Amino acid sequence: MPYYVVLWLVMLFGWITNYVCRIIVAPGVPDIMREYGTSYEVTGLGLMTVLLVGYFTMQLPAGLIGDRFGRKRVLVLGPVLWGTATIAAALAPSFQLLAVSRFFKGLAMGTYFGNDRPVVAAHTPKEKMGIGQGVSFSGLGIGMGLGIMLGGVMTEALGWRTTLMLVSLPPFLASALLLKFVKEPPASSSSHKVSKASIGEVFRNRDLWLLNFAAFCSLFSLWSVLWLPTVFREEGIETEWASVLSSLFGFASPFGLMFSGFVSDMLVRRGIGRKAWLGTSIVLHGLLWSLFGYALSMRAPLWVLMVLVFGAGFWQWGLWSPMYAIIATMVPAGVMGTAYGLNNFVGQMGGVSPWIIGWIRDLTGSFIPAYYVVGAIAIVGGCSALLVRRR
């Protein structure tokens, strides 16, 4: 098996543990709200948005640290830290301390992205860049799907605290695999090479900022999935089934990422480029979220909601293959970690969506208007991607 394929699979497993630990609480949100007596808005802020604030706060520092001191060290340490933070969340005696542990978990998880993307880019053949970014990145969606599905079953059987304790263990295995298999990319192996690269070029890049804004809009819609199990439970669906239905969004990821990676690579070979495919993917997933809100308002059959959730997930995950492949061509290799970190820093600010969705739910008594907002913001992001000059 080629080394780059082994690398894709190891990075994939790391992302699975990252997202399982991140999303595992979602099916238990109503139980946590009852235990602590919190509102939708406070729960969305303290349980979900706070983690994402920690996550995006670490994006630039992690990329810069990896650029200067080596990405492998950062990648190996990250899973140990987020596994430890998951244990702390399971033991939290109050909602305030639970929120604090979620914030530190977000900081730990934020070390991964700005360092794993450049490693994948450095060791993947250029003609396989789209599919390579897609395969290795599909761990996010698989982890999200597993986290939501297992979270519902395990929370119902064991309670949310025991569930958190159990899912804290795989990150330590991920750290060991990263230590064994990751090779440091030559371009980031020394501070000397980084000093010659222009970090300012990253911050002055017009096309990168357009993609940063597109990422913000896309991640605003992605993190609405944290409320999905609660949406289905309020439709009268049992916890386990609500989790299974919500997990369709995550399990769509390998199909969307690999299909989109294959298509975007093919378009490049034909001289068309990836930009149009990226913009279309973002617009389509926004339309599907808006249709999901409309379907809720019309009390549509369950199978319709399932198709819309899977479809939104397919196009949501599919957009990242062309986006990250385009970014890989924008900046010198020595500051690629900074470019990816900046993109995810801005994009993960979309993590305010669970808080805003909770506020809309408290204000209107329904999740329906929230999903109209989610869809509209994603469509704006797709238009931003289409303004990129680089194909």
Q: Is residue 120 part of a domain?
A: yes
**Which range, of 78-87, 338-347, 360-369, averages the lowest pLDDT?**
338-347
| 193 confidence band (pLDDT: 50, 70, 90) | low
Q: What is the pLDDT of residue 198?
A: 64
- CA distances to 71, 233, 302 from 29, rounded to whole Å, are 35, 10, 22
Q: Is residue 255 part of a domain?
A: yes
C-beta of residue 184 within 8 angstroms of C-beta of residue 71: yes
Read off the pLDDT of residues 39-50 as tens digits, 9 standing for 90 and up.
999 999 998 899
Read off the pLDDT of residues 295-338 as tens digits, 9 standing for 90 and up.
999 999 999 999 999 999 999 988 888 898 888 888 777 777 77
Say which CATH number the domain at 259 has. Answer: 1.20.1250.20
Most confident of 44-48, 85-89, 133-137, 260-264: 85-89
Query: What percent of the chain lies above the pLDDT cut of 90?
Result: 60
Q: Is residue 293 part of a domain?
A: yes
What's the number of domains the chain is made of? 1
Q: Is residue 103 part of a domain?
A: yes
| Average pLDDT over every residue of 368-384 | 96
| Average pLDDT over every residue of 361-390 | 94
Q: Is residue 193 part of a domain?
A: no
C-beta of residue 173 within 8 angstroms of C-beta of residue 38: no
Q: What is the pLDDT of residue 189?
A: 42
The residue count for the chain: 391
Identify the sign of the CA torsion 215, 216, 221, 223: positive
Residue holding tokens 């969004």? 249
C-beta of residue 67 within 8 angstroms of C-beta of residue 335: yes
Q: Is residue 189 part of a domain?
A: no
Q: What is the pLDDT of residue 44?
A: 92
C-beta of residue 338 within 8 angstroms of C-beta of residue 63: yes
Quickly list DSSP for 285-346.
Answer: HHHHHHHHHHHHHTT--HHHHHHHHHHHHHHHHHTHHHHHHHHTTTS-GGGHHHHHHHHHHH
Q: Is residue 191 part of a domain?
A: no
Q: Which domain holds residue 39?
A: 3-176+200-386
In 10 A of CB 359, how many CB atoms?
18
| Average pLDDT over every residue of 103-114 | 91
Q: What is the pLDDT of residue 187?
A: 52
**pLDDT at residue 188 greater than cutoff 70:** no
Q: Is residue 195 part of a domain?
A: no
Give the integer Cα–Cα distance in Å for 260 and 276. Answer: 12
Q: What's this model's pTM, rounded to 2 decimal places?
A: 0.81
Give the integer Cα–Cα distance in Å for 97 and 183. Answer: 37
Q: What is the pLDDT of residue 101?
A: 96
Q: What is the pLDDT of residue 56?
A: 83
| Average pLDDT over every residue of 19-23 | 93
Most confident of 114-123, 136-145, 220-229, 269-278: 220-229
Q: What is the pLDDT of residue 339?
A: 84
| Average pLDDT over every residue of 71-80 | 93
Q: What is the pLDDT of residue 220?
A: 95
Read off the pLDDT of residues 218-254 as tens digits, 9 standing for 90 and up.
999 999 998 999 999 888 888 888 998 999 999 998 8
Q: What is the pLDDT of residue 272?
A: 82
| Average pLDDT over every residue of 95-106 | 96
